[in-house]
């Protein structure tokens, strides 16, 4: 890779000349001599082979090329400053990345709120978010490739912090044969119908949670696909209410009038890794996930302004 001819210090000097209105003012702001500032800018122009400033009366004014280059240099200087800050934070024990694995049934709106609140406090720490289904979350934790996990199932060897529950509703299209019965539906009624279930993303011991044992079963890879199938009249399924509010409102899905078990409310839990000590960024994210877990999902949300 070709080494840059112009240094970050030179770009900062040019920015100071423009921002402060001249060489003398820039020298004062940078605590340098005016001759040093003038030489730095002159040397830049020589190295780049492009005039950056022109003298208009007694004032230095950007050329067209200088204006374009200065604008781009501001992003470069800002990124370099952020990189130095990140290195400083890492030296103090701040993590470069937090790895979060979440069961796909957990409300993404709560994650969005927590992660948006985390952003201005992150100090450059990235979040690597991974979605799994059922035992897939547990496997990722046991493999040691996640720092935090949200799951509705007990993960062996870990103590989880209780979060809120998620309502799963048994639904089918309004014209489905189950709704046409015109009465309360029993377990025996369901056994003869096509059930749509979600594939467990775990490989070691995948679970058939919610499957009633009927021979007519279609297994799909995501809750979104299951929603599409059932909304089209293909079978019935238990789906998270927060994911199908629009379909229920639009009348393409309707809760089944089951005599029992029409809705389920599994609790979710937040787990943290046992393999390493929690850093400050991870601890902040834990607190935010817990705080926003109880926030109403129907409250309007605005993302924080970008720095």
Across the chain, mean pLDDT equals 86
Measured distance CA(54)–CA(36) in Å, rounded:
18
Return the number of other C-beta atoms located less than 10 Å from residue 305's C-beta.
Answer: 6
23 contacts 60 by C-beta, under 8 angstroms: yes
Angle at CA of residue 146, ends 141 and 151, nearest 5°: 55
Helix runs in 159-279, H state only: 177-180, 187-191, 223-231, 245-250
> Of residues 117 and 24, which shows the higher confidence score?
117
Whether residue 242 is predicted with pLDDT greater than 50 in this model: the reply is yes
Q: Within 13 Å of residue 212, how many CA atoms lie on the same side as its CB?
A: 20
Residue 250, C-beta contacts closer than 8 angstroms, at least 6 positions apart: none
State yes or no: pLDDT of 90 exceeds 70.
no
**pLDDT for the residue numbered 307:** 45
Asked if pLDDT for residue 255 goes beyond 90, the answer is yes
Looking at the predicted structure, is the pLDDT value of residue 207 above 80? no
pLDDT at 203 over 90: no
DSSP code string of 104-152: TTS-HHHHHHHHHHHGGGSTT-EEEEEEE-THHHHHHHHTT--SEEEES
* Tens-place pLDDT, residues 48-68: 888 888 877 767 788 888 888
Residue 15: which of 48, 53, 46 has the closest Cα? 53
pTM: 0.68
End-to-end CA distance of the chain: 31
Lowest-confidence pick of 63-77, 82-96, 117-131, 176-190: 82-96
Structure confidence at residue 236 (pLDDT): 94
Q: Contact at 8 Å (CB) between 200 and 135?
A: yes
Which residues share a beta bridge with 96?
Answer: none
pLDDT number for residue 243:
95
Q: What is the mean pLDDT of residues 238-251?
A: 95
- At residue 112, the pLDDT reads 94
Q: How many residues does the chain have?
A: 307
Q: Beta strand pairing status for 148-151 and 168-172?
A: unpaired
Q: In this predicted structure, what is the pLDDT of residue 208?
A: 58
Cross-strand pairs, 101? 130, 149
Of residues 209 and 45, the one with the higher pLDDT is: 45
Structure tokens at 284: 């902040």
């Amino acid at each position: 890779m070709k080494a840059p001819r112009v240094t970050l210090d030179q770009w900062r000097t040019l920015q100071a000349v423009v921002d402060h209105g001249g060489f003398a003012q820039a020298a004062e702001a940078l605590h340098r001599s005016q001759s040093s500032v003038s030489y730095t800018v002159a040397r830049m122009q020589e190295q780049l082979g492009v005039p950056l400033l022109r003298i208009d009366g007694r004032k230095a004014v950007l050329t067209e090329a200088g204006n374009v280059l200065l604008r781009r240099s501001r992003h470069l200087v800002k990124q370099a400053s952020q990189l130095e800050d990140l290195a400083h934070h890492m030296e103090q024990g701040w993590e470069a990345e937090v790895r979060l694995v979440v069961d796909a049934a957990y409300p993404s709106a709560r994650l969005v709120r927590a992660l948006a609140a985390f952003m201005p406090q992150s100090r450059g720490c990235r979040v690597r978010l991974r979605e799994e289904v059922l035992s897939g979350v547990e496997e990722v934790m046991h493999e040691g490739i996640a720092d935090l996990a949200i799951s509705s199932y007990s993960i062996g060897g870990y103590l989880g912090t209780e979060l809120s529950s998620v309502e799963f509703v048994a639904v089918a299209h309004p014209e489905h044969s189950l709704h046409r019965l015109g009465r309360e539906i029993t377990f025996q009624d369901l056994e003869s119908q096509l059930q749509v279930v979600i594939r467990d993303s775990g490989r070691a011991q995948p679970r058939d949670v919610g499957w009633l044992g009927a021979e007519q079963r279609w297994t799909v890879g995501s809750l979104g696909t299951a929603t599409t199938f059932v909304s089209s009249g293909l079978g019935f399924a238990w789906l998270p209410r927060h994911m199908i509010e629009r379909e229920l409102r639009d009348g393409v899905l309707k809760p089944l009038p089951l005599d029992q078990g029409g809705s389920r409310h599994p609790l979710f839990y937040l787990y943290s890794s046992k393999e390493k000590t929690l850093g400050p960024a991870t601890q902040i994210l834990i607190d935010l996930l817990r705080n926003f877990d109880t926030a109403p999902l129907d409250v309007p949300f605005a993302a924080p302004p970008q720095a």
